[in-house]
Amino acid sequence: MIQLLQTGILNESLIQIEWEDYTESVAAIHRHLEGANSEMTGWLNSPIENNIEMVKSIQRIANEIKIAADVLVVIGVGGSFLGAKAIQDALTPYFGDCTNGIEVIYVGQNMSGAYIRQLLNSLEHKEVYVNVISKSGKTMEPALAFRVFRQYMEKRYGDEAYNRIIVTTDAENGLLNKIAKKTGYRQFVIPANIGGRYSVLTPVGLLPVAVAGVDIEKLLEGAKKAATVLKNENLEQNEAYRYAVIRQALYKNGYKIELLASFEPCLAKLHEWWKQLFGESEGKDKKGLFPASVSYSTDLHAIGQFIQDGSPIVFETLLHFKEILFDYQVPFDDQNDDHLNYLANQSFNNINAISKQGTALAHADGGVPIIQLELERLDAYHLGYLIYFFMKACAMSAYLLQVNPFDQPGVEAYKKKMLQLLQIDNFKNEYGVGM
């Protein structure tokens, strides 16, 4: 399914991986992960489990929304935002409407007053549904955005508002669950044993992308295939674990930055999802590869110079989908003013694929280790496969690094500081000291 190309890569002179050194630890981590006592690993088997009922009820509500609304406003941040946005961008058109879905817009992923005001203004002539996604309901950005949109919907739709707000949250705990129960909002569940950055294949990601027109059955089918294929403790046969080991070996050899590169601009948000997945899973105890990304060929004309010739601390993971559904042919030109007739009747996607080969060769020449991940086609099935592949590889990577893939103590530091400042500040305001 996914092919981890080995040719011309990881220029053997740069690094020699002692695979046999990893065999045992990989198998041990595998058994721990897949074992009955592992925690926060609900995502591991969820695509294999029977989820027909969940899928049907998501599709039912998605269809209702597509008929009744022009736009779905999704409120979420981090794992409740990045995954859905990644899939939506990857599988819906660059320009023009998606024939199978409606517009999906995100809010509550930032705290820009301008963003909220302009979004609200733009909704004036559109019918709106809201999907608020938060496990606890306590994260500041989405909580504030939900306060705004709850009032907006109630003002606009009156008694009907409760029917136009769908809540995705914990089944039993948390403030958002409490609000949903009290008001009678329809509710989807974020399983307690799945953390934010591993939740994209739950209703967290599935409802928004279904509304955007993505075939979620195919998406889950691809993930199921990956969950099956990658349930193999044998390092030689498990591409996700091989990817994890290569990353770890490069890290140990002084490469500090992994640069995820792809050649289709609609994958830019997938990079952002990937950055959270790996950055938040590995970046602790003063360890971890710094996850960065580029969209080629655009960024070959930007950061390309650095990759080729700059500080030798970067390795590159080239992500390539061999087939892209839409394409365009370079036209023939009588005048040939631009001297490009030698490319006439070639397809852009073919030329783009060749630019990928050129990049790999040039950067390998420049001494950059290169990992190549190749998939057949950019569609829901293969994207589902890839997402699962990355999650499995990430859990293995973090354990190889001897950190916990499923916590994020560092995120709390900022939240705490901010709350302190807000409360002091609020205090000042109440007593007229002002801001």
Question: Among residue numbers 230 through 289, which ones bind a copy of itself (CB under 8 A)?
Answer: 256-257, 263-266, 272, 275-276, 279-280, 282-289
Decide: is 169 part of the binding site for a copy of itself (CB under 8 A): no
Decide: is 351 part of the binding site for a copy of itself (CB under 8 A): yes
Of the candidate residues 57, 193, 297, 404, the single one contacting a copy of itself (CB under 8 A): 297
Of the candidate residues 117, 252, 377, 428, the single one contacting a copy of itself (CB under 8 A): 117
Long-range Cβ contact pairs of 97-102 (< 8 A, separation 24 or more): 98/212, 98/213, 99/213, 100/213, 100/214, 100/215, 101/66, 101/210, 101/211, 101/212, 101/213, 101/214, 102/65, 102/66, 102/69, 102/70, 102/71, 102/72, 102/211, 102/212, 102/213
Contact 130, 73 (CB under 8 A): yes
CB proximity list for 50: less than 8 A, separation 6 or greater:
none
User: Pick from 373, 369, 370: which is nearest to 383 by CA?
Assistant: 373
Contact 99, 282 (CB under 8 A): no
- Pick between residue 19 and residue 152 the one whose CB is nearest to a copy of itself: 152
- Pick between residue 66 and residue 150 the one whose CB is nearest to a copy of itself: 150
Alpha carbons 62 and 59: distance in angstroms, whole number:
5
- Pick between residue 52 and residue 354 the one whose CB is nearest to a copy of itself: 354
The dihedral of CA 36, 38, 39, 45: what is its sign?
Answer: negative
Of the candidate residues 143, 227, 229, 250, the single one contacting a copy of itself (CB under 8 A): 143
Decide: is 228 part of the binding site for a copy of itself (CB under 8 A): no
Span 68-107, contacts to a copy of itself by CB under 8 A: 77-79, 81-82, 93-96, 105
Decide: is 357 part of the binding site for a copy of itself (CB under 8 A): yes
Contact 145, 130 (CB under 8 A): no
* Least distance CB 283 / a copy of itself (angstroms): 3
- Pick between residue 67 and residue 435 the one whose CB is nearest to a copy of itself: 435
Window of 14-22, 39-47, 186-194, 359-367 that interacts with a copy of itself by CB under 8 A: 359-367
User: Pick from 77, 71, 395, 432: which is nearest to 247 by CA?
Assistant: 395
* Least distance CB 30 / a copy of itself (angstroms): 24
Of the candidate residues 28, 52, 192, 361, the single one contacting a copy of itself (CB under 8 A): 361
Catalytic residue among 415, 416, 417, 428: 415
User: Pick from 79, 33, 403: which is nearest to 227 by CA?
Assistant: 33
Alpha carbons 161 and 360: distance in angstroms, whole number:
53
- Pick between residue 240 and residue 294 the one whose CB is nearest to a copy of itself: 294
Span 176-215, contacts to a copy of itself by CB under 8 A: 178-179, 182
In this structure, the chain runs to a length of 435
178, amino acid identity: K
The dihedral of CA 227, 229, 232, 234: what is its sign?
Answer: negative
* Least distance CB 315 / a copy of itself (angstroms): 12
Span 306-325, contacts to a copy of itself by CB under 8 A: 306-314, 324-325
Catalytic residue among 258, 264, 280, 316: 280
Of the candidate residues 36, 67, 114, 433, the single one contacting a copy of itself (CB under 8 A): 114
Span 31-60, contacts to a copy of itself by CB under 8 A: none
Query: Which tokens in the block code for residue 311?
Result: 């500080």
Is 415 among the catalytic positions? yes
- Report, as residue numbers or ranges, the catalytic residues: 280, 415
